[in-house]
Structure 1
């Protein structure tokens, strides 16, 4: 599916979600008390329609109950903050306004205030609980017990906490995997949706990795435990989601910082309104008191406070369901504010499955056994590709290596018999001949120019400092990389590829992928320096990589995005992790970030506008408390519902 058609448009305000909230009231204590308080309010309003002392008693009792029941949670929250943290909050303002209205006989208005305020607070708590419910479902997927395979062929049920690295466990069909491990016997298909967010099952056979919480589908398998329970990928995912939900973006922190002083300012304003008009203008005290209570209500920043976190939590939950994990809401908020995206080449722009496409050797003898022996000492992806090629096309001969040294970013050198061998890039070759310039033969020069222009990575083979061979390796461009680059370019972002390849090769790959710029001949140690330079040139930057050899560069970038492939290394190093390495999820995350910031901006502008409009109306024309309550708390409910749209984006 193309990115242009796969990204959803703006969703309508979820009225059906509001209905769902209401119908679930009896399973949510705060909502239940809010509706019970509303029921008491309704009874009181009906009783007010009738005359007589009995009906007056019923009305007053119902009003008191609506105050106590509906206002319980908010009053407790306000008093707790006041006593424990010596901090004023909006709950104090609302409770004071309601009690103030009741003190001058406006029980009805105070009860309406309590009901709508408690309802909006319950909906906000419901949003928080909804996001936590997604995490609870995730936690419930992790088995508590495992079938440990004993030496005598029996199985014993043990706690996952008691499993040790090296233990063998039996996982039957329909059971969830209780530990991260490697399949040592059997074949099956595994539902990895809890890890990657993908609904399609994945085939597993001997040697494949399996992860805690995933579902075994078609057959029993024996698995060797590779990690203790606390270190499993699943547990790290849970910690990551918890961390994201507890974090506060800068905008929210600023609002929380000024909430206390703002509330104090409102209280001072109320006192001035109570004292000044009767003394200076001889205004009736009851009328002044009523206006002061209205001022307390409409000046309260409830909607402003609720403008960010419900939207942010909804966005985080949405991303987590799709296999997009982030260490905090800050990164999601900043994602669409960046100016440039830097990509590591291998495994990000390319598929990460390099293959040898061309081979040249200037000697008549077969040197593949020596190449195999040396490259087997390295764990670099290119080394594995070279070994695979040589084993398939060369002769099988046992070769003993005296010593070897892996030169990160250059290649590998080693001693075989009396000869010194080196396999790596041109920089490695030049380092071997420090006294004189390394010179390629005419044939090698021609092949170098030709294969580099085709976007291939070149690996030279030298014996005793003399270059005797050349390999060309090609890693196919990912189709979704080209789509993502086009999308980001259309959004006005600068795209840059960082690679250790030579200039000609890097240029060819960048052109094929559609990347607007590239940095060639970049060693892993140089990536941090390059990221720093890019930040100075362009501003905020995103770094996309595999989370392993580019971890320092990710840490230096404003946002590091790791192509997870289900690896815990990626979770440890990046700010955002794509549990399944699908680049289109970066585009979705970018759209989600734009939508989040747009909704937060809408909420803040709308909530501030409502406060200003209500304040002006109260001072110029007079405002009844019920209208003030409806306008103020109605705006709070609307901004919460607006934020909930991100659950369905």
Structure 2
């Protein structure tokens, strides 16, 4: 059974449309009327069957069977005719033809039973498939319909949450659900964030902390400033990206559908042979026709086609509920294939919120510490880089006034420049901003002094930032970042999953990079890299046959994220370019979810294999039974539809919370540990 029309994400580009000639059943959206028709057909059949078996006249049970045909078969027949109009051979239509053929040769009860089983199994299958999307879309129901907005005059008004805009202030009373993503302006409370993070314990929230729509406030009252529109909230993004992912085909799915086209042609030819050959040797018409129709049904590859998508989409939905947005089924499948990992440092292994630790004006610059910091902050103000934000926040913390920057220019991996009060201020890495002259061997003067200070700071694990005015060094800033609490555990888990220790790729200086690498257990470090250097390091590993997973957050990581087998971006501190380029996004910046989603992908891949085995065994057994012995048509339909439903339900097991819990605690691939 094939999934609905699927499209690829922008990178890689979508496959061009192709003719689809394979017999298929389109996944039907289960509506309440359709369920009622299936139920009516079943009731009519159950009334007609005992009448026939007890010897009642045909006029008593015949019309009941006819109504069962009509009520249970009109919808798949209509769907099959629409597909035929599009030059697609639909299994729905083939099933209806088989049922009518059975009635034509006097097997009215068998045909009616086929219709009932087919309609009922189709309804159950559609319901099972819809659970994947429903489990995620149900998150939207967690957000309250209304919120209490505080007006400038201090009054309150109740408004639909969809009307809240960025900058609004809302009041969340004890026990209420939070209506929008935002930041706490006043108050303190504990918030249950299980709907977003999956963590069972409430999280303390106070002034400055971020809160999310749909999470449940505890005993305190909070005033929250709205920072995202309703359509851009974490919950809405999860839903949108999972729904988008559900419209893509995994590589395995594409391969199956390619094989399916050729298989279907062979199946149609074989069906004709199963009917014609016995007939040519004197077999009865009725028996030959029933055998051929049964063969056509049991040989149909519905369960094989359905084997791939339910496990992958269930894994996508489960990951989405826990703050990992996987952008497509292709990505979910590829995540389980990675065997090498490259990690960025700032904003990935570290929290991405560095702070100024040293402010060192150079002798002869005539600047105080505050003046140096104010100049650097003015130039960095338009930048979105974490180091730039650290400079600006440090200046604001000291209450410094920042001049307006003009002619701002940013070169990823190098630094920024801007005109501040008529002077060109440049801020960036010492060895790059000044064309390589800011080194100890460059001689004395300010260049030499800047190099000595930078070397001293880097020896202490700081990131040194050189500040120049009109091309002349005037000072050096020292910046340090805090390591994420789960960084070391994540590195260990990724090592267990891939069989090799991740490599650290960073534009930072070698000393600071080595200090972080030693702390988290990384042995190989590539420091001082420009964006193209990170890409080269990734391609070097892929040239050795590795499938590389890159985790990063900044603009300078975007090329490497695009070049890798899989790119994962940190969502909270990540740049817009990195988020757009990455294949998956870690919404809550919980680094430990990276190995968890890799383990979940491997489990999904194992479920795909299980499904293919189940489907193949059913098809083989039923086909052999039909060819060697006599397989009753209704029993063939029951086996065919049953295998399809079993395969779908098996994949949906990955929706369970236990699947994520096991994946998160997994340090090794869980392919031999089924749920």
Q: Same fold (TM over 0.5)?
A: yes
Q: In 1, are the aligned partners of 2:553 and 2:573 still within 8 Å (CA)?
A: no
Cα distance in structure 2, aligned partners of 1:204 and 1:524 = 37
1:108-147 → structure 2 map (5 Å cutoff): 108-147=109-148
Which residue in 2 is equivalent to 1:609? 617
Cα distance in structure 2, aligned partners of 1:374 and 1:519 = 31
Which residue in 1 is equivalent to 2:291? 291
Q: Does 1:427 align with 2:431?
A: yes
1:623-634 → structure 2 map (5 Å cutoff): 623-634=631-642
Q: In 1, are the aligned partners of 2:373 and 2:391 still within 8 Å (CA)?
A: yes
Q: Does 1:334 align with 2:334?
A: yes
Structure 1 residue 592: Cα displacement = 1.4
> Over the residues paired in the alignment, what is the CA RMSD in angstroms?
4.2
Cα distance in structure 2, aligned partners of 1:630 and 1:128 = 19
Cα distance in structure 2, aligned partners of 1:203 and 1:440 = 53
Which residue in 1 is equivalent to 2:649? 641
Q: Does 1:480 align with 2:480?
A: no
Q: Does 1:75 align with 2:77?
A: yes
- The verdict on how the C-alpha distance between 1:579 and 1:638 changes in structure 2, with shifts beyond 3 A counting, is same
Cα distance in structure 2, aligned partners of 1:93 and 1:207 = 62
- Matched residue of 2:253: which SS? helix
Q: In 2, are the aligned partners of 1:170 and 1:223 still within 8 Å (CA)?
A: yes
Q: In 2, are the aligned partners of 1:181 and 1:224 still within 8 Å (CA)?
A: yes
1:569-608 → structure 2 map (5 Å cutoff): 569=576, 572-608=580-616
Structure 1 residue 188: Cα displacement = 4.2
Cα distance in structure 2, aligned partners of 1:427 and 1:172 = 53
Question: Unaligned regions of 5+ residues in structure 2, if any?
Answer: 1-29, 660-675
Cα distance in structure 1, aligned partners of 2:213 and 2:399 = 40
Structure 1 residue 628: Cα displacement = 2.6
1:446-502 CA deviation, whole Å, 9 max, x = no partner?
Answer: 886676566543345678978786665443433422222222222235522211123
Structure 1 residue 559: Cα displacement = 2.5
Cα distance in structure 2, aligned partners of 1:426 and 1:474 = 16
Structure 1 residue 115: Cα displacement = 3.4
1:122-521 → structure 2 map (5 Å cutoff): 122-160=123-161, 162-256=163-257, 259=260, 262-263=263-264, 265-279=266-280, 281-355=281-355, 367-377=368-378, 378=380, 380-382=385-387, 385=390, 408=411, 409-411=413-415, 424-428=428-432, 430-431=434-435, 433=437, 438-439=442-443, 452=458, 455-460=461-466, 473-492=479-498, 494=500, 495-521=502-528
Structure 1 residue 38: Cα displacement = 4.0
- Matched residue of 1:431: which SS? coil
- The verdict on how the C-alpha distance between 1:66 and 1:420 changes in structure 2, with shifts beyond 3 A counting, is closer
Cα distance in structure 2, aligned partners of 1:514 and 1:584 = 15
Which residue in 1 is equivalent to 2:628? 620
Structure 1 residue 564: Cα displacement = 2.0
Cα distance in structure 1, aligned partners of 2:503 and 2:622 = 50
1:154-177 CA deviation, whole Å, 9 max, x = no partner?
Answer: 334444555454444444444444
Aligned length: 618
Cα distance in structure 1, aligned partners of 2:421 and 2:90 = 79
Cα distance in structure 1, aligned partners of 2:323 and 2:62 = 54
Q: In 2, are the aligned partners of 1:499 and 1:521 still within 8 Å (CA)?
A: yes
- The verdict on how the C-alpha distance between 1:220 and 1:482 changes in structure 2, with shifts beyond 3 A counting, is closer
- The verdict on how the C-alpha distance between 1:499 and 1:31 changes in structure 2, with shifts beyond 3 A counting, is same
Q: In 2, are the aligned partners of 1:344 and 1:498 still within 8 Å (CA)?
A: yes
Cα distance in structure 2, aligned partners of 1:94 and 1:402 = 71
Cα distance in structure 2, aligned partners of 1:515 and 1:163 = 45
- Matched residue of 1:273: which SS? helix
Which residue in 1 is equivalent to 2:18? none
Cα distance in structure 1, aligned partners of 2:395 and 2:313 = 52
Q: In 1, are the aligned partners of 2:238 and 2:321 still within 8 Å (CA)?
A: no
Structure 1 residue 331: Cα displacement = 0.8
Q: In 1, are the aligned partners of 2:149 and 2:157 still within 8 Å (CA)?
A: yes
Q: In 1, are the aligned partners of 2:377 and 2:402 still within 8 Å (CA)?
A: no
- Matched residue of 2:246: which SS? helix
Q: In 1, are the aligned partners of 2:439 and 2:451 still within 8 Å (CA)?
A: no
Structure 1 residue 302: Cα displacement = 1.9
Structure 1 residue 294: Cα displacement = 1.7
Say which is worse superposed, 531-540 or 313-322, in terms of deviation.
531-540
Say which is worse superposed, 251-260 or 498-507, in terms of deviation.
251-260
Say which is worse superposed, 352-361 or 636-645, in terms of deviation.
352-361
1:309-340 CA deviation, whole Å, 9 max, x = no partner?
Answer: 32233222222222222222111111111232
The one of 544, 547, 550 equivalent to 1:540 is: 547
Q: In 2, are the aligned partners of 1:527 and 1:553 still within 8 Å (CA)?
A: yes
Cα distance in structure 1, aligned partners of 2:149 and 2:401 = 40
TM value normalised by structure 1? 0.81
- The verdict on how the C-alpha distance between 1:386 and 1:288 changes in structure 2, with shifts beyond 3 A counting, is closer
TM value normalised by structure 2? 0.78
Say which is worse superposed, 463-472 or 125-134, in terms of deviation.
463-472
Cα distance in structure 1, aligned partners of 2:438 and 2:453 = 24
Q: In 2, are the aligned partners of 1:252 and 1:308 still within 8 Å (CA)?
A: yes
Cα distance in structure 1, aligned partners of 2:403 and 2:247 = 56
